Amino acid sequence: MSRSMQSNGAGPRRPGDREDICPVCKSTRYLNPEMRFLVNPECYHKMCESCVDRIFSQGPAACPIAGCARTLRKQRFRQQTFEDLKIEREVDIRRRVATAFNCQESDFETLLAYNNYLEDMEVATFNLLQGVDVDATERKLAAFAAQNAASISANNAKATETRTAQHAHTAAQKEQARLNRAGATRADVASMAEREEAHREAIDAVANAKDEPGQKVVLLKKSTARRTAAEKARDKQRQQQQQQQLQHPGDSTDHEIYKIQGLKPVIHPPPEKAYDPFGGMAHTPVYYTLQSHYEHPWLDRARTDPGIVAGGYDLREYYHRTMLAAFAGLGCFIDEEMGEKEKGRGEGDDKMVATEGAAMAAAAAAGADRAARRDVL
């Protein structure tokens, strides 16, 4: 069998062979190594380039994949960037949403408003990715893009300007680094030449000096000190140039990157209040004293029931809620509250009372009429 498979040109299947087969014409990359696959962002179905030319050259046509009825156009087909088509689709959706929602933090007065804006953007992205309320989300994106067309174009121009300035700044830094390396190389070559020349001068001076050993040593020390002083001067000059470039950059792109577009008043949020579990409700005076143990058959069973104790339930919480609910109404004085309400009533309340009285009288008359009819029958 292995010989027949080899003679037919078939080999062992690999995990990625299915991805190398066009779902339309069933061509394989094994028979056509030059075959390229293209995808369309409308449905993200992959097919070979020859099928795209054959089906969509005459104009828009339906997707040939079974079960897909989307209308595709040839100019929208492109080569796949990511291996996983889900990632390809998510990147395209996020890019499309980011084109509409392209505001920066500096465009908002408070951090809360900017965070709400980011949340709306993520909700729209999630809905498009998961297919939740797609039509409503598309309408929302279109309405937002139409309403903020001016700010979107301004932000796009600002982003383009920032990217251009960053690229120019990076290019200037690379050029400056190249010039620094070239200057350091020239300085090293010059230093080496000076060192060799000083060494030759020292050798010549020692050779031409008298036979006294002390005088030769003095000449060698002088030449070495002169060479060391020259090297120190060059190093100091190089450090000063570097510091000057850092403190006073000459490239105009540095200033464009850190250019302030405009200042807005910073509105600080109010300080957070301390957490109050009662929500501001006054719970004083306390009309009861909470005990650590209460006798009751249900409570005795709850203390030993594994289904209740195993979950971490604490009976003291039950004691606290029960006693609070039992004595919560002792601090409410209805007569005082009703007296305050009566004082605050005006003419509108009097008219309402009169209307309610008339309605009650009419209802009573209708009830009497129905009773009289029943008696007659």
Encoding tokens for residue 10?
A: 């078939």
Q: Is 360 within the bounds of a domain?
A: no
Give SS3 for 87. Answer: helix
pTM for the model stands at 0.43
Tens-place pLDDT, residues 276-324: 766 776 666 677 788 888 888 888 888 888 887 787 788 888 888 888 8
Residues 107 and 138 in one domain: yes
Residues 156 and 243 in one domain: yes
Residues 163 and 186 in one domain: yes
Is the bond preceding 285 in cis, omega lying within 30 degrees of 0?
Answer: yes
CATH number of the domain that residue 23 is part of: 3.30.40.10
Q: What whole-number distance in Å separates Cα of residue 11 and Cα of residue 8?
A: 9
Residues 237 and 320 in one domain: no
Q: Is 12 within the bounds of a domain?
A: yes
Q: Is 348 within the bounds of a domain?
A: no
Kindly report the backbone phi and psi dihedral angles of residue 39, in degrees, each rounded to the nearest multiple of 5, phi listed first.
-130, 155
> What is the mean pLDDT of the segment spanning 51-69?
89
Residues 198 and 238 in one domain: yes
Q: Is 256 within the bounds of a domain?
A: no
Q: What whole-number distance in Å separates Cα of residue 196 and Cα of residue 293?
A: 98
Distances (CA, A) of 118 to 74, 121, 124, 125, 266: 35, 5, 10, 11, 19
90 CB-side CA count, 13 A: 9
Long-range contacts of 228-237 (CB under 8 A, 24+ apart): 230/191, 230/194, 231/191, 234/187, 234/191
Tens-place pLDDT, residues 230-245: 666 776 776 666 666 5
Q: Which residue range forms the structural domain that includes residue 134?
A: 87-147
Encoding tokens for residue 66?
A: 């079974």
Residues 120 and 166 in one domain: no
What angle do helix axes 149-208 and 213-247 make, rounded to 10 degrees? 170
Residues 168 and 242 in one domain: yes
Q: How many domains does the chain have?
A: 4
Q: Is 357 within the bounds of a domain?
A: no
Residues 166 and 241 in one domain: yes
Q: Is 301 within the bounds of a domain?
A: yes
Tens-place pLDDT, residues 158-191: 878 888 888 888 888 888 888 888 888 888 888 7
